[in-house]
Amino acid sequence: MAEKKIIIAIDGHSSCGKSTMSKSLAQMLGYIYIDSGAMYRVVTLVALRKGLMPNGEPDVAKIIPELKNIKITFQWDETQGKNTTFFNGENVEEEIRQLKVSQNVSPISTIAEVRHEMVKQQRENGLTKGIVMDGRDIGTVVFPDAELKIFMTASPKIRAQRRFDELKEKGQNVDFDEILQNVEGRDKIDSNRAVSPLKRADDALILDNSNLTREEQLKWTVEKVKEITSGR
């Protein structure tokens, strides 16, 4: 009998390794991986390119009509072992990870119409099971019936250090305090926004990885998947 395929929702704070773990998990299980944060980053990139974020404030009335022209897709890059994000066919993976986008993405993700359109595109991806999606509201809003929900977190300092190392490795000139401020600022906006705030679903398992290696987290998660798919 074919193994039962499920939806795995991974939510949690920014920079706590959600996407790294979700990618490895999807690869191991032969599932599709969808990075929902990348989708909000694409909308932010479009707003920045079109000058619709004067002084860091989104021009909501002008951003809303843009949404219908934004088609976001993902492709798994086998050679690099990573997911690539496309905006209307253009590879924007590098650009959406830059600090400029990180600094502007939270206000964009508080716009109800933006969330509505992104959730619609995210649910389309879940029509066939066998998917790992990470974000902030996957277990609470996008897939409230997901068979496995995990809420990941780690201390702000550890998360800032990880992002700092990641950007440094890419050759970007970054300042640790600026990153820590960005991490803490995003936590605050993500958790306090009116629409779909970052919140653990009642039935989500907590995974605090402050003191865990990637391998340890993955092992823990795979065990949870096995418990569900084998009906243990």
Contact footprint for ligand DC (CB under 6 A): 14, 36-37, 40-41, 105-106, 109, 135-138, 186, 190
CA distance 229 to 232: 8
Shorter beta-carbon distance to ligand DC: residue 71 or 188: 188
CA distance 167 to 203: 34
Shorter beta-carbon distance to ligand DC: residue 77 or 230: 77
Quick one: 66 exposed, middle or buried, by C-beta within 10 A (0-12, 13-18, 19+)? middle
Q: Smallest gap, in angstroms, from Cβ of residue 228 to ligand DC?
A: 22
Strand partners, 133: 9, 34
Shorter beta-carbon distance to ligand DC: residue 208 or 229: 208
Q: Smallest gap, in angstroms, from Cβ of residue 5 to ligand DC?
A: 21
Q: Smallest gap, in angstroms, from Cβ of residue 162 to ligand DC?
A: 12
- List for the chain the helix, strand, coil content (%; round to 5): 50, 15, 30
Shorter beta-carbon distance to ligand DC: residue 205 or 229: 205
Q: Smallest gap, in angstroms, from Cβ of residue 4 to ligand DC?
A: 25
Alpha helix stretches (DSSP H) within 50-175 = 60-63, 93-96, 99-109, 112-125, 156-169
